[in-house]
Amino acid sequence: MYEEISKILKKENLTKDDLMFLLSADDKAVQLIFDKAAEVKTQYVGNYTYFRGLIELSNICSKNCLYCGIRSGNKNVQRYSATDEEALKAVKYALDRNWGSVVIQAGERQDPKFIDRLENLLKQISSISPEKTGVTLSLGEQNLEVYTRWLNAGATRYLIRIETSNEDLFYKIHPRDELHNFEKRIQALRDLRKAGYMTGTGVMIGLPFQTMEDLADDLLFMQEYDIDMCGMGPYIEHEDTPLYQYKDQLLPLEERYKLTLKMIALLRILMKDVNIASVTALQAVNPDGREEGIRYGANVIMPNITPVKYHESYNLYKGKPEIVPETDKYISQLEKQINESGDKVGYEERGDPIHFKNRKK
């Protein structure tokens, strides 16, 4: 296995078969992949980790994704919407710590009230932020006009996860209806690109019914769509969701975690200059999960700076890490861990994806 992996890793372009072989690497051989990913990261994006302060603005969602703890059909969730003042306070917190970016995430809503509110909030954020501050949105599918309005109001990046590039699997983890449509999801990626955003997507790893072939296809999908950013994490089941019924068919959580690290490393090898987030779901499985992701190719971390009183209500999956009430202490610890993992924190920089800049040349 060692020799075959070394041979594949020397190739300029990786095929689907190559990726499937690499995804099946055993615990010993996988180190070759991790080493290669770390080398590529150093060469193409440098040993920097960029912090994006994550603000979970609201858990009100019109959709009903079958895996998600805050889906509209889950009546066991206390719904909230943080105020503009709370959001701006969180932005100021990120700016005071010299982070170059924030992320605004919320359940998906397309009603005019929400769209207007976001536009207004983005303008307020722009008015208190230095020019170079990056604002990433993760607010689901909208139309081109809305994307453009939000871009003009100050947003710079947009993350919309495809969750899986396999259409059949997509409809096993989403209801098949007007609101949940595979083609619309892909169109959203195209529209975001057209509007001028740095565009990101991502998938879940270890879903029921998912195969190695699906994961290899996911990597090739991201390459084909020439994405600028990616956030992908292990699928973690939530008991208040329809997908929970398949919990006995899942890979052990530890395996899903290892597969996620492999996917991060392989994406770094495949798309050398994109930004890759080391997501919180990794930390839900292993307390050092996000630092491991950084070591094996990721270069972005999104510390949660949502007001603590809302944390419990934004439970997308089971066992989401409890954020300690002393946010300062938690953040300082995270910064220390990044330094220990060999990266420097990219303070006072937006840390835009180099891929985007190269694409624009």
The site for ligand SF4 (CB under 6 A) is made up of 61, 63, 65, 68, 70-71, 107-108, 140
Tokens of 194: 């057209």
Whichever of 149 and 185 has its CB closer to ligand SF4, that residue is 185
Per the CB < 8 A criterion, the answer to whether 201 and 161 are in contact is: yes
Question: By C-beta, is 65 or 103 nearer to ligand SF4?
Answer: 65
Cβ proximity to ligand SF4: between 174 and 350 the closer is 174
- Angstrom CA distances, 163 to 3, 210, 221, 230, 360, stand at 33, 11, 11, 11, 26
Which residues make Cβ contacts (< 8 Å) with residue 245, sequence separation at least 6?
Answer: none
Angle formed by the axes of helices 112-128 and 144-152, to 10°? 20
Taking the least distance from each CB to ligand SF4, the nearer of 100 and 107 is: 107
- Least separation in angstroms between residue 68's CB and ligand SF4 is 3
* Identity of the residue, 107 or 234, whose beta carbon is nearer to ligand SF4 in the bound complex: 107
Minimum CB separation of residue 179 from ligand SF4 in Å reads: 9
Nearer to ligand SF4, 97 or 161 (CB): 161
Q: How far is the CB of 204 from ligand SF4 (least distance, A)?
A: 10
Nearest approach in angstroms of CB 304 to ligand SF4 is: 15
Number of neighbours of residue 140 by Cβ within 10 angstroms: 20
**Cα atoms in the Cβ-side hemisphere of radius 13 Å centred on 203:** 28
Q: Which tokens belong to 284?
A: 């839900």
Residue 147, CA distances (Å) to 107, 118, 143, 154, 180 in order: 16, 11, 6, 11, 19
Closer CB to ligand SF4, residue 23 or residue 186? Answer: 186
Alpha helices, DSSP H, located in the chain: 2-9, 16-23, 30-44, 84-96, 112-128, 144-152, 167-173, 182-195, 212-224, 253-270, 280-285, 289-295, 327-340, 354-360
Nearest distance from C-beta of residue 30 to ligand SF4, angstroms:
29
Which residues are CB-contacts of 224 (< 8 A; sequence separation ≥ 6)?
none
Contact 118, 150 (CB under 8 A): yes
Measured from the CB atom, the residue of 162 and 215 that comes closer to ligand SF4 is 162
Backbone φ and ψ for 242, nearest 5 degrees, come out as -60, -30
CB of 141 to ligand SF4, least distance (A): 8
| Minimal distance, residue 263 CB to ligand SF4, in Å | 19
What is the number of residues in the chain? 361
Q: How far is the CB of 106 from ligand SF4 (least distance, A)?
A: 8
274 with 226: CB under 8 angstroms? no
In the complex, the smallest distance separating the C-beta of residue 108 from ligand SF4, rounded to whole angstroms, is 4
Which CB, 60 or 220, lies closer to ligand SF4?
Answer: 60
